[in-house]
Structure 1
Amino acid sequence: MRAQLAEVPARRPWNGAALLLLAGLVVTGPSHTALAQPAQPAQPTAIPVSTTPAQKRPIERTADFVGRIEAVNRVEVRARVTGFLEEVLFRDGESVKEGSPLFRIERAPFEAAVEQARGALESAQGTLQNATTQRQRAEDLLRTNAGSVAVRDQRVAEETAAQGSATTAAANLKTAEINLGYTEIASPIAGRIGRTKLTKGNVVSPDSGALALIVSEDPMYVNFPVSQREFVTFGHNRVDAGSTGPKVTLRFSDGSTYEQQGTIDFVDVSVDRSTDTVLVRAIVPNPKGRLIDGTLVNVAVHAEKPVDKVLVPQAALIADQQGAYVFVVEDGKAVVKRLKVGAEAGAYVVVDEGLSGGEQVVVQGLQGLRPGSPVLASPVAPPPAGRS
């Protein structure tokens, strides 16, 4: 039996490319297969901003009130005699000096009254002289026993009556001369005169009312009510004679500040029980006449001792529904600081709470700023300090 031999197929040589692929698989292995890495997020760009440090410096404490200007002297000019108004010697609204003539009333009737009174006085003086002579004669006759006591007493009584008539006549003459003087009405004070209510040709009398109003102009008073608690806070609930009280600054309705400072010179002695306020008065120079009697003004009362306060520029202040805040730079990032702000001080605002001073406050570049944003801070010069 023949043995059958199986045919062994011949081996085929390895392709070069296959060898290279196999070598790569052997070297790297399945666990070292290259994987696609996720893209890294882009870092946010730092926002350029300008900063200035929050300043801490002493400022004056102030409290604001509403007051009214009042003239120191205020006079209603009135007629003191009855007569026809001959002349008005001023223009409405002009300044007048003390003693300046303002009105002139017809003089002729009053001059006649003076002459009549003078004549009555001369007659009374003649009667008195005769009575004196008769009394002396009666006394002489009584000393020589040629006259009686009764006659002498009668002559003494007649002399006394004549003396009384002469005194009355002298008083009537003086009254007539005073009334003649009242025909020229002069200004009792220096100040500014208002519009006259009567013109030439009208009959004026003491019952005619005020002919014009004169108010003094320099200085002026400003009166304002203050709660007792607020005024005690400033350490002045009274001002004694000869002493000076706190300073005050006035602001007009348009927001402008009056250039002259005043001084509190009077605190009323009684509190108004209906409002729980006390009336306070300050005296303010008015050399240019800017303050007008009766004007409403804002009154800022300054405390005597300044206190240390933190100030930030008003340009750095931002407000939203929660209140005011600023951005400060901490560790290269923008951080929000909520503030409780007080009064303005020029280009600054007083910070009562929220900052301690020295923080780098952002004043420029606020438009795109968000809490936590990286910033590139550049210091800038602070704005000029305003008057507190």
Structure 2
Amino acid sequence: MSLFSRRFYKAAGAGTLALLAVACAGEAQEGMYGQAGPPEVAVESVKARPVRLTSVLPGRTVAYRVAEVRPQVSGVITERLFEEGDEVDAGQPLYRIDSAPYQAAFENAAAALARAEALAVAAANREKRLARLVETNAVSRQDYDDAVAAARQARADVAAARAARDSAKVDLDRTVVAAPIAGRIGRALVTDGALVSAGQAQPLAVIHTLDPIYVDIAQSSAEILRWKRRATDKRDAGDAESFGVKLTLEDGFPYPLEGRLELTEVSVEPSTGSVAMRAVFPNPDGLLLPGMFVRAEVVEGMLDEAILAPQRAITRNPQGQGVAYVVDAENRAEARIVETERAIGDQWVVTAGLEPGDRLVVEGFQRFRPGDPVTPVEVSRVAAAGSESGANAPGGGRP
């Protein structure tokens, strides 16, 4: 081969390599920046749908009923008739007090009643006899009047003696201290042999009714006003008392049973500016105990036509206003100032700035500026494409 031929082939080879390098660079650039044209952004169509509004508030559990067992007569405790921590029924005997003096007082009152009844019979018979004699003037009218008064006094003595006997019987019955309510009784606060007295400050035991159980919640008066105002709004389909209440326990686990809001106080606590609310919950297993700290999820109401926007779709400008981007009819990105009320999960409740049917940009903000043309792609298609690519990737699909 001649020198010219060798130089020709060398030059042709160099040109081919240059063309290949340019082609590779073009492919790399196309892969980096994508096809020519407006950038793709993920959008989500704004829809109005019913939304339940809730608030999570701190609360404390309170026993449904509480009764402090106290003696109503004085004496020495002779016997305890319950086991600590047991469930007791209303009227169940709990303590026995020495009844000997009260038994004697009852028998004395019963004897006094029998004596009074005997005297009353004699006075009544005398009254009847003098009534016949006074008609024939065999006795004076004064004697008859005295007999009538004595009979009446005898009947009054009988009534007083009967009341004294009944009072003694009540005191005798009270030597057995009974449970005033049904529930779970705590520890015994006195022991056998202790001297107790009627009306003493220290209880003998305390009984709590735990099924059902109350949960006391506090909410600010401003929030209560907002609830009431929303309840009169035509968008609201209900109020707080028409929905259930859910609990989260101290360990973070949800309470399995749902309660209901039973009471909202009619006054505001001046020191805290809050309104007390009370919910009642079933507690068949005794899981909730009085004094536990819980978090209650209270339903404020239901919005018929609420607009929700993903939190990632709304940013804040330097003035703190919410900013969202929508794609207009000409497929241009448009910035909107929006107002948000609260977060529900990972979404905002939008009260102004968005309307049903708007195409809200949720991904791809770095690819455009306000007013730029964009290519909107529904976020559902983006998610489907991502899952399909993940399944086709090495190691994707079935394990």
Q: Which TM-score applies when normalising by structure 1?
A: 0.67
Written as runs of structure 1 = structure 2, the 5 A alignment for 1:1-388 is 58-208=50-200, 209-235=202-228, 244-306=241-303, 308=306, 310=308, 345=345, 349-352=346-349, 378-380=385-387
Counterpart of 1:211 in structure 2: which amino acid? L
Distance apart, 1:135 and its partner CA:
1.7
Distance apart, 1:170 and its partner CA:
0.3
Tell me the SS of whatever aligns to 1:192: strand
Counterpart of 1:230 in structure 2: which amino acid? E
Counterpart of 1:115 in structure 2: which amino acid? E
Query: How many angstroms apart in 2 are the aligned matches of 1:52 and 1:286?
Result: 47
- May I ask how many residue pairs the two structures share in their alignment? 315
Counterpart of 1:232 in structure 2: which amino acid? L
Per the alignment, residue 326 of structure 1 pairs with none
Which deviations, in whole Å up to 9, do the C-alpha atoms of 1:11-34 show, x marking residues without a partner? xxxxx99xxx9xxxxxxxxxxxx9
Query: How many angstroms apart in 2 are the aligned matches of 1:350 and 1:100?
Result: 56
Query: How many angstroms apart in 1 are the aligned matches of 2:95 and 2:363?
Result: 68
Structure 2: runs of 5 or more not aligned: 8-17, 34-41, 232-239, 321-326, 328-338, 368-381, 389-399
Normalized per residue, the structure richer in helix is 2
Structure 1: runs of 5 or more not aligned: 1-15, 22-33, 324-329, 331-338, 363-369, 382-388
Query: How many angstroms apart in 2 are the aligned matches of 1:107 and 1:140?
Result: 50
Counterpart of 1:283 in structure 2: which amino acid? V
Per the alignment, residue 386 of structure 1 pairs with none
Distance apart, 1:45 and its partner CA:
6.8
Query: How many angstroms apart in 1 are the aligned matches of 2:165 and 2:241?
Result: 50
Distance apart, 1:351 and its partner CA:
3.5
Contact between 1:69 and 1:221, CA under 8 Å: does it hold in 2? yes
Contact between 2:310 and 2:348, CA under 8 Å: does it hold in 1? yes
Distance change in 2, residues 1:102/1:350 (3 Å):
farther
Distance change in 2, residues 1:253/1:344 (3 Å):
farther
Distance apart, 1:109 and its partner CA:
2.2
Per the alignment, residue 365 of structure 1 pairs with none
Query: How many angstroms apart in 2 are the aligned matches of 1:215 and 1:143?
Result: 70
Distance change in 2, residues 1:340/1:233 (3 Å):
closer
Contact between 1:344 and 1:350, CA under 8 Å: does it hold in 2? yes
Per the alignment, residue 331 of structure 2 pairs with none
Counterpart of 2:62 in structure 1: which amino acid? E
Counterpart of 2:298 in structure 1: which amino acid? V
Q: Which TM-score applies when normalising by structure 2?
A: 0.66
Distance apart, 1:97 and its partner CA:
1.8
Query: How many angstroms apart in 2 are the aligned matches of 1:291 and 1:45?
Result: 60
Distance change in 2, residues 1:54/1:112 (3 Å):
farther
Percent identical: 32
Distance change in 2, residues 1:199/1:262 (3 Å):
same
Which deviations, in whole Å up to 9, do the C-alpha atoms of 1:27-49 show, x marking residues without a partner? xxxxxxx9xx9996965879xxx
Distance change in 2, residues 1:236/1:155 (3 Å):
farther
Distance apart, 1:123 and its partner CA:
0.5
Distance apart, 1:171 and its partner CA:
0.4
Counterpart of 2:282 in structure 1: which amino acid? P
Counterpart of 1:302 in structure 2: which amino acid? V
Query: How many angstroms apart in 1 are the aligned matches of 2:224 and 2:243?
Result: 10
Query: How many angstroms apart in 2 are the aligned matches of 1:256 and 1:178?
Result: 50
Distance apart, 1:186 and its partner CA:
1.7
Contact between 1:220 and 1:283, CA under 8 Å: does it hold in 2? yes
Distance apart, 1:82 and its partner CA:
0.8
Distance change in 2, residues 1:60/1:222 (3 Å):
same
Distance change in 2, residues 1:264/1:145 (3 Å):
same
Which deviations, in whole Å up to 9, do the C-alpha atoms of 1:305-349 show, x marking residues without a partner? 156464769xx99xxxx99xxxxxx9xxxxxxxx9895564xxx3
Query: How many angstroms apart in 2 are the aligned matches of 1:311 and 1:344?
Result: 10
Distance apart, 1:233 and its partner CA:
2.7
